[in-house]
Amino acid sequence: GESVGLHLPTLSVQEGDNSIINCAYSNSASDYFIWYKQESGKGPQFIIDIRSNMDKRQGQRVTVLLNKTVKHLSLQIAATQPGDSAVYFCAENNSKGNDYKLSFGAGTTVTVRA
Amino acid sequence: NAGVTQTPKFRILKIGQSMTLQCTQDMNHNYMYWYRQDPGMGLKLIYYSVGAGITDKGEVPNGYNVSRSTTEDFPLRLELAAPSQTSVYFCASSRGGDRTTEAFFGQGTRLTVV
């Protein structure tokens, strides 16, 4: 069955360094992969998505990389700031199969050290 | 622009009681979702709707019911509350189509069943 999971449950990063958050997926039929950020006490917030026909997409201070060969997704955050401390979830969607759902992984907690 | 609004924010229920979690969105989104999030875990889909009058089960629908009589509202009903339903509940909406991946979440309802 499909599953979206993350390699590590926690990540500690020095302020100013780059962060890399990893995710493995198993559903080859998914055509969109997404990253969400959840700050303490709040609902998840969309960060960026990438379509399966791409291998890289950049946003503001973030880059998502997709490696379909090994079914791996990563989120890179440049110059990590204290406001980046949150739980990060990867998710997937299969729009071709008229799948209107997002399937979420367990999350990686990122802590930024001052 | 309020986005997705959930009420109440907190609630304590006794075993066997019933309640309705309210969710409303003012973005004219077609798709709406209910997720639950257990401590330290990802989000599990309970029910979703792709438009008024249409609802469908997600991963964990047992013990819950939904209705979608209008585009704006998507209430979640808990019948005969059980301790296993202690969780944080998130309502979300998305425009659908090529923007299915960008879901907007409410602040959550923290429910405790004792």
pLDDT band at A26 (very low <50, low <70, confident <90, very high): confident
Q: Would you call A42 and B102 a contact, using CB atoms and an 8 Å cutoff?
A: no
Q: Would you call B43 and A32 a contact, using CB atoms and an 8 Å cutoff?
A: no
Q: pLDDT at residue A33 above 90?
A: yes
Amino acid found at A81:
Q
What is residue A98's predicted lDDT score, i.e. its pLDDT?
A: 64
Q: Would you call B108 and A107 a contact, using CB atoms and an 8 Å cutoff?
A: no
**Separation of CA A73 from chain center:** 7
Q: pLDDT at residue A5 above 90?
A: no
Distance CA(A4)–CA(A22), nearest Å, equals 11
Residues of A with CB under 8 A from a CB of B: 32, 34, 41-46, 49, 89, 91, 93, 95, 100-107
Q: pLDDT at residue A1 above 60?
A: no
What is residue A8's predicted lDDT score, i.e. its pLDDT?
A: 74
Nearest CA among B80, B73, B79 for reference residue B26: B73
Tokens standing for B29?
């989104």
Bridge-based pairing of strands A19-25 and A4-6 is antiparallel
Q: Would you call A49 and B102 a contact, using CB atoms and an 8 Å cutoff?
A: yes
**Helix H or strand E encompassing A46:** strand A45-51
pLDDT per residue as tens digits for the range A43-98: 999 999 999 999 999 999 999 999 999 999 999 999 999 999 999 999 998 776 66
Instruction: Give the angle subtended at the CA of B65 by the CAs of B59 and B71, to the nearest 5°.
Output: 95
Burial category of A56 from C-beta neighbours within 10 Å (exposed 0-12, middle 13-18, buried 19 and up):
exposed
Q: pLDDT at residue A11 above 80?
A: yes
From chain A, the residues in CB contact with B21 under 8 A are: none
pLDDT < 50 stretches in chain B: none
How far is the first Cα of chain A from the last one, in angstroms, to the nearest whole number? 41
Distance CA(B14)–CA(B83), nearest Å, equals 9
- The pLDDT of A87-111, averaged and rounded, is 84
What is residue A88's predicted lDDT score, i.e. its pLDDT?
A: 96
Give the chain A residue whose CA is nearest to the CA of B50: A100
